[in-house]
Structure 1
Amino acid sequence: MGEIAERYRRRAEAFERKVAAVRADQWGNQSPCAKWTARDVVEHVVTMHGVMLTPVARKLEPSDDPLTAFQEARAAIEDVLDDPVAALTETDTPAGPMTTERHIDEVVSDDLVLHGWDLARATGQDELMDPLDVERLWATAVAVPPELMAKYRTPGAVEVYGPEVPVPADAPLQDRLLGLLGREP
């Protein structure tokens, strides 16, 4: 198993544990993402998994149960990562051409970390992110050019992140990452 597949599996396992721990009465809880409930967070993650499958001619069958939907999405992505032809298929992305496995790594795998925190916050679970993941996401986030970051924060456009939340410079890296990405640590 390669590094990307291993990282994805570790992150997917952590995210799945969070989804499984959500009580039935918590799915409507507000998440840190202004427009999303806990259920919306999982639906977004599952939808993005489906987007990653499109270039390799695979698709997800919808499920109304968030845990089942994520488990099926996870299995489909793991199948792609285990298939050298599918994993190495070149695909066009907003960031330019890249392999399917790299696209998975840079989008849904990273999303599992951040949206895992969103889900944990919405449902009262442990919010601690893996320090290695925090370092990786921090390095990626600070490398985003300011003009692109501004576009990511534009309501009605891309709106990937909310407005930056001020966090003390000496705060833990996880808090600085969350603040940079528009979340209140």
Structure 2
Amino acid sequence: MSGSEVAERYRRRADRFDALVAGVRADQWSWPSPCDEWTARDVVGHILDMHAAMLQPFGRELSPAPALADDPLGAFRAARADIEAVLADPAEAGSTHDTPMGPSTAENHIDGVASADLVLHGWDLAKATGQDDTIDPAEVERSWPGVQQMPPEMRIPGAFGPGIVVFGPEVPVPSDAPLQDRLLGLIGRDPHWKA
């Protein structure tokens, strides 16, 4: 897959997540999310953590940014800019690094982890704050084969760094449920979760 394809997919996903963050009212940041023990603000915090993890192979951290506690949208936009800078640099994007799932180019690691996270945690944020929680059907179709082949490391707390949990235990969902619901169940979400 080309670097421009990865960068464009990240941009689309980040645009959607940005819109969801912008749609959260000030009083909703402390509301619970479908992720156990996480508030809506914690969901964005996890996205920031995963973006930071993508920069570690380069010996870098997230750039100075607004604090998550004060400005979640500003914090996300700054982290997004850091990732987009990596994807825009062919040498960095194409460099190979060790990851919890084995050697990978930076762009493929970003595409499969931080970028994909924007889709799934976008659902969490939407569900937590009463926004439209429909995942783009093309994203659901794209994610489904890979999620069915999820390596066990993706369910091990801390595999990507201290305090980082990627996916929880599977939630049983009927086999005839909509594909979005089956996808959510497989990644450890209750599709019918309510606060």
TM-score (norm 1): 0.91
**2:37, 2:134 → 1: CA distance?**
23
- Whether the 8 Å contact between 1:56 and 1:89 is mirrored in structure 2 is no
Shift of 1:133: 1.1
| Residue 143 (structure 1) aligned with residue 149 (structure 2) | yes
Q: CA RMSD in A?
A: 1.7
Which of 166, 172, 182 is 2:188 aligned to? 182
- Alignment correspondent of 1:92: 98
- Whether the 8 Å contact between 1:169 and 1:176 is mirrored in structure 2 is yes
Shift of 1:137: 1.6
Shift of 1:96: 0.8
- Alignment correspondent of 2:123: 117
Structure 2's unaligned 5+ residue stretches are: 160-164
- Alignment correspondent of 2:66: 63
Shift of 1:63: 2.4
Shift of 1:53: 1.3
- Alignment correspondent of 1:41: 43
Overall identity of the aligned pairs, in %: 59
**2:166, 2:49 → 1: CA distance?**
15
What amino acid does structure 2 have at the position aligned with 1:162? G
- Whether the 8 Å contact between 1:49 and 1:77 is mirrored in structure 2 is yes
Residue aligned with 1:184, SS: coil
Report the number of matched residues: 180
What amino acid does structure 2 have at the position aligned with 1:68? G
What amino acid does structure 1 have at the position aligned with 2:179? L
Deviations 1:86-144 (A, max 9, x none): 11111110111111111100100110000000000000000000112111221111012
Residue aligned with 1:163, SS: coil
* Displacement over 4 Å in runs of 4+: 156-159
- Alignment correspondent of 2:109: 103
What amino acid does structure 2 have at the position aligned with 1:120? A
**2:139, 2:61 → 1: CA distance?**
28
Residue aligned with 1:116, SS: helix
Shift of 1:168: 1.5
- Whether the 8 Å contact between 2:65 and 2:74 is mirrored in structure 1 is no
What amino acid does structure 2 have at the position aligned with 1:181? I
Shift of 1:62: 4.4
Structure 1's unaligned 5+ residue stretches are: none
| Residue 73 (structure 1) aligned with residue 79 (structure 2) | yes
Shift of 1:58: 3.1
Residue aligned with 2:113, SS: helix
**1:157, 1:105 → 2: CA distance?**
20
**1:6, 1:157 → 2: CA distance?**
29
What amino acid does structure 2 have at the position aligned with 1:48? M
- Where do 1:10-25 residues align within 5 Å? 10-25=12-27
**2:168, 2:150 → 1: CA distance?**
15
What amino acid does structure 1 have at the position aligned with 2:136? D
| Residue 127 (structure 1) aligned with residue 130 (structure 2) | no
